[in-house]
Amino acid sequence: MRTLVIGDLHCPAVHPNYLEFCKAMQKKYKTNNTVFIGDIIDHEAISMHDKNPDLPGPLEEYKAALKEVYWWYKAFPNATVCIGNHDARVHRKSNKHGVPSMYLKSFSELYNTPKWNWVMEVDYDGVLYTHGDGWGGMYPSFNAAKARLQSVVCGHHHSIASINWIKGPNTMYFGMNVGAGIDQSNPVFQYSKAHLKKAIISCGIVIDGKQPYLEIF
């Protein structure tokens, strides 16, 4: 299996050239499997943090995100989507207020992506793909790989694009952070304006579960 790993999009705050970049990497590596590593949607308007009054409200943000998702679904109609912490903001908020999940639309229905498989995590060729919000440190995916004794690919940490290896007596594992596909200048990221660390626009490729590659935009 030749897997293309697409970084956090945060629609509608995705980098304007990231889609063409990912399509070019699909062609370059002849990938036949696609994983979105999470945070397809930003959901700034319904977060539990302080709101920016100059940004669109929830309905306007949803409509703008839906337009962006359309183009990604058109380019990668058969894909697995790891559910990120931003994707799950609606569910977390409904849980807080005691609303059962049965009252919520599925991600596929909400974003008109019937062929996308939305999951918390997935294993392909012995490699775990997960969003990564449960892991920290300088190399979060590597920490996960060491703890799980399994190769791990994750996103979530926009300013980290890395591949690290660890070898035991009989096996080797890698941890890969795939960076992101966001537009750092978008107003939804105003909170990070003073941060010294910035998003690395990149994507990942994993060949047969054994050889990871990073491509930086």
- Give yes or no for a contact between 40 and 19, defined as CB atoms under 8 angstroms apart: no
pLDDT of 117 over the 90 cut: yes
Q: What is the pLDDT, as a whole number, of residue 183?
A: 95
Residue 115, beta-bridge partner list: none
- Give yes or no for a contact between 122 and 80, defined as CB atoms under 8 angstroms apart: yes
Across the range 30-57, mean pLDDT stands at 86
What's the pTM? Answer: 0.94
